[in-house]
Amino acid sequence: MLDFFSPSPHASRIDPVYWVEKLIPGGRDSAKEYAPEQATAFIRQTVAEHADEHPLLAEDVERQLFDTWGEADLSTESGLREAIGRFEGAYQDFYEGFRFPFQEWDLHRYGQWFLLSCEVLPWAVEQYDAALAPVG
């Protein structure tokens, strides 16, 4: 079984996309975590895409969602949904028809511990194999 994880000249590390289905109970979603920086990037991209039809949108989004004095908490997925809901509710008359398509956004990435495991496992197998090799 360890041969699967042994470093090879063709692959320098384990492919997380392949192994997440095999190694993590619950499949790929259980190895992923919310990524607030991706949420921020999607918000900024959406605002940029609507800048022509809503010239003041960027300023309002900056003030309501990104201002350090604002109440928006984008550090959690539920905080993001709440902040976007509050923004859209408060500005629905001013930005008629505008919505953040956050249901379409992929706001998750592989967790750092899962990725670290994918990096360390080939090294650990290599160390194990080296310890088994006859000396002399």
129: Cβ contacts below 8 Å, ≥ 6 apart: 2, 6
Res 30: pLDDT: 78
Res 4: pLDDT: 57
User: Which domain covers residue 50, as residue numbers?
Assistant: 33-97
Are 101 and 88 in contact by the 8 Å Cβ rule? The answer is no
pLDDT digits (tens, 9 = 90+) for 84-119: 999 999 999 999 889 999 999 999 998 888 888 888
Number of domains in the chain: 1
Amino acid at 82: E
Q: Let me know if residue 47 belongs to a domain.
A: yes
Sign (positive or negative) of CA dihedral 30, 40, 89, 70: positive
Higher pLDDT, 84 or 136: 84
Q: Let me know if residue 28 belongs to a domain.
A: no
Res 13: pLDDT: 66
Are 24 and 114 in contact by the 8 Å Cβ rule? The answer is yes
Question: Is the per-residue pLDDT at 68 higher than 80?
Answer: no
Q: Let me know if residue 107 belongs to a domain.
A: no
In the chain, the percentage of residues whose pLDDT exceeds 90 is 51
Model pTM score: 0.74
In the chain, the percentage of residues whose pLDDT exceeds 70 is 84
Q: Let me know if residue 104 belongs to a domain.
A: no
